[in-house]
Amino acid sequence: MSKNLLKNPSGEDQLEFWEMTMNGGSEWKVEDMPGDCSYNFPMDGVTTYFATSFELCLKRQVIDLLQEGYSSEQLDAQPAVTVEDWYCGRTDCGCTYEMTACLLDENKEVIQEFKPQPVTLDPDCDDCSWKQVSHTFSDYGPGMRFITFEHGGQDTKYWEGWYGVRVTASSVTVDV
């Protein structure tokens, strides 16, 4: 199994290693599973998650693949790159979730991007339990040297506090 290149993917170290690109409302917070008005996580070992607020909260990591020990030759062979994320809403407040992952060249120009449509979870008509989003990049050409991973969201009722989307167990792997 390939190593997860994201550091602190579930908030065990609070917000360490994450760059806050949007930090609205009450900002980001780390909470323990399952949390208020929530669901248990479907896999063992995940005990914390990141919670968003009433204004858009986004955070990201930029992974330097050469610094992580990959050679230019390995990267130019276009190994499969898989990004995964888990998100859920609360049972008492709707939320939105969004995510973007990009493969970048040495100048940090985008080679390929994965940006699904934002998801809105509404507890009145949706199951707001933990859901996974996953994407594998392939056939993207030579030159990949960095990967960015950004995710987040907010609540839909503009309630003060941490009623927005919850994210955890994020991962970025390179299959060399």
Cα gap 157→135, rounded to integer Å: 30
The reported pLDDT for the residue numbered 98 is: 97
The reported pLDDT for the residue numbered 141 is: 96
Supply 154's token pair: 């907010």
Q: Would residue 121 count as lying in a domain?
A: yes
Question: In this structure, what are the phi and psi dihedrals at residue 8, rounded to the nearest 5 degrees?
Answer: 55, 55
Q: Would residue 57 count as lying in a domain?
A: yes
Q: Which amino acid is at 110?
A: V
The reported pLDDT for the residue numbered 104 is: 98
The reported pLDDT for the residue numbered 130 is: 95
Supply 54's token pair: 């009433």
Q: Would residue 12 count as lying in a domain?
A: no
Within 10 angstroms of residue 112's Cβ, the number of other Cβ atoms is 15
Q: Would residue 119 count as lying in a domain?
A: yes
Q: Would residue 5 count as lying in a domain?
A: no
Q: Domain holding 147: CATH number?
A: 2.60.120.260
The reported pLDDT for the residue numbered 37 is: 84
Residue 4: closest CA among 172, 175, 169:
172
Q: Would residue 87 count as lying in a domain?
A: yes
Distances (CA, A) of 27 to 36, 51, 62, 86: 18, 9, 20, 19
Q: Which domain holds residue 93?
A: 19-175
Q: Would residue 6 count as lying in a domain?
A: no
The reported pLDDT for the residue numbered 74 is: 97
Cα gap 28→25, rounded to integer Å: 9
Q: Please tell me what DSSP assigns to residue 17.
A: T
The reported pLDDT for the residue numbered 31 is: 94
Q: Would residue 8 count as lying in a domain?
A: no
- pLDDT per residue, tens digit, the chain (176 aa), is 689 999 999 999 999 999 999 876 668 999 999 888 888 899 999 999 999 999 999 999 999 999 999 999 999 999 999 999 999 999 999 999 999 999 999 999 999 999 999 999 999 988 889 999 999 999 999 999 999 999 999 999 888 889 899 999 999 999 99
Supply 124's token pair: 């009145």
Cα gap 30→46, rounded to integer Å: 13
| Count of CA atoms in the C-beta half-sphere (13 A) of 133 | 21
Number of domains in the chain: 1
Distances (CA, A) of 124 to 39, 76, 91, 159: 16, 48, 8, 16
